[in-house]
Amino acid sequence: MTVCVGLDVGTTGVKAIAISPEGDVLARAEHGYPLSTPRPGWAEQDPEDWWQAAQAALAQVSAGREVAGVGLSGQMHGLVALDAAGEVIRPAILWNDQRTADECAEIEERVGRERLIELTGNRALTGFTAPKLLWLRRNEPEAYARTRRVMLPKDYVRLRLTGEWATDVADASGTLLLDVGGRRWSPEVLEALDLAAELLPPLLESPEPAGVCDSLLQGTPVAVGAGDQPAAALGVGIDRPGPLSVVLGTSGVVLAALPAYRHDAEARVHAFCHAVPGAWQAMGVMLSAAGSLQWFHDSLAPDVPFATLVEEADAWPPGAEGLLFAPYLAGERTPHADPDARGAFVGLALRHDRGALVRAVLEGVAFGLRDSLDLIRELGVDASVGRASGGGARGRTWLRVVASILGIPLELTESEDGSALGAALLGGVAGGVFADVHDAVERCVRVQETVEPDAAWQSVYEELLPRYRSLYPLTKGVTT
């Protein structure tokens, strides 16, 4: 049977899937690898680990099948530096690495914050690629002097797979070096930062082929692919303005497809190119969504199943009798862009038990997503329905809370494969299975369930929203 294969190069491992031309998932494989934290706030990986895991996963899902095309997605923003021989110079610096605060300030000073936002749709944030490159130049000058090519994580895997050096405009949007509106590398930013354009790969649109497999799956077309969030949006059918992508993963995301480039004047939401040619996206990101519940479980109730914790939360009314949770456990992006923001429980009383605390966590995360939704609406997006995905979307109580706080119904699609499915759709376009991205989405993405907002809960949450939004300045005042 002819299949399309998607390969997602994540932070904890590689996931591969094989799908039929109708979108049925026929095979899955996952292979993990370690994360290195050599100093506090640092996060690195060995790109060779990605490649070894990718080979193993691809071999599993393709065995005995005719593969029409392969697509890739992956963790965004990471810095992979190669020398003149194409060898990796040092471990990759990842999206969640926080070492570049000084370089972020330098970028905004050199380019000018307003101009940077106009060109790139974003402020200089520690997770992005350009600050990492400046850090390398300042702190490891010998490694920087040897650098001839700069790559993003999934592009390194594709380089090993096909021999082609390239990236896509969606993933490149997270480098802070792209003219996002013009879908090209920004000569102005490169000049201001004194970076050579020759370091950067050729740019393609996400479904375009970037070579063919030269060993494993020899001769199979490979789409250049997309970053994980644009690919995940495709995986739930966000290929044009309409439904939003609402992701309850370790981090939380609200993403809308845009017909033209628009950016928030303060860059409180990200403006990126979409994985759909000629389209853009607005994306709000909170750093601790399902990660907040994971933290609570691991730290305070490690022997209690997640389902039990959520059942206990369900016993409490909306608002948990005034208990609020600020979900800033790892700093925050949207809307505060503050790596030093910190979390808190506020309003504790003797009556509050473990279930109340969990209820506050679920609601605090949902309020964080509401911040992103309201900012996206300010860009003129008509947000009337969301498509939910991520590990947190498996619990109906949490989805009901999120739907009620966002004030929109949340749809669930048949597949939970997110980024890997989006990558497979791109691979199918490159391999000629689908006419274009829209054809792929129409044929393969199907809604199977809708979770409606609870009208009684909504009224409570609208009253609580101003109190939630007062938490950030309050906690900022006592933690700095």
Closest CA to 182 of 241, 263, 239: 263
How many angstroms from the chain centroid is the CA of residue 402? 19
Q: Which residue has the tokens 């609601």?
A: 363
Query: b vs e for 419-448, b when ≥16 Cβ sit within 10 Å of the residue's Cβ?
Result: bbbbbbbbbbbbbebbeebeebbebbbeee
Closest CA to 224 of 268, 181, 296, 165: 165
Phi-psi category of residue 338: left, alpha or beta, with phi > 0 → left and psi -120 to 50 → alpha: beta
> Token pair of 382, please?
């008509």
Are the C-beta atoms of residues 57 and 31 closer than 8 Å to each other? Answer: yes
Closest CA to 216 of 438, 370, 389, 53: 53
CA distance 245 to 238: 7
CA distance 375 to 249: 20
Omega cis (within 30) before 259: no
Q: Which residue has the tokens 């995940």?
A: 232
How many angstroms from the chain centroid is the CA of residue 13? 15
Query: With the C-alpha atoms ordered 441, 447, 451, 453, is the resulting torsion angle positive or negative?
Result: positive
Catalytic residue among 49, 97, 228, 371: 228
Q: Which residues contact 142 (CB under 8 A, 6 or more apart)?
A: none
Q: Which residues contact 299 (CB under 8 A, 6 or more apart)?
A: none
Q: Specify which residues 19 forms β-bridges with.
A: 4, 25
168 catalytic per annotation = no
Q: Which residues contact 64 (CB under 8 A, 6 or more apart)?
A: none
Q: According to the 3-state scheme, what is the secondary structure of 228-261?
A: HHHHHHHHCCCCCCCCEEEEECCCEEEEEEECCC
Instruction: Supply the residues annotated as catalytic.
Output: 228
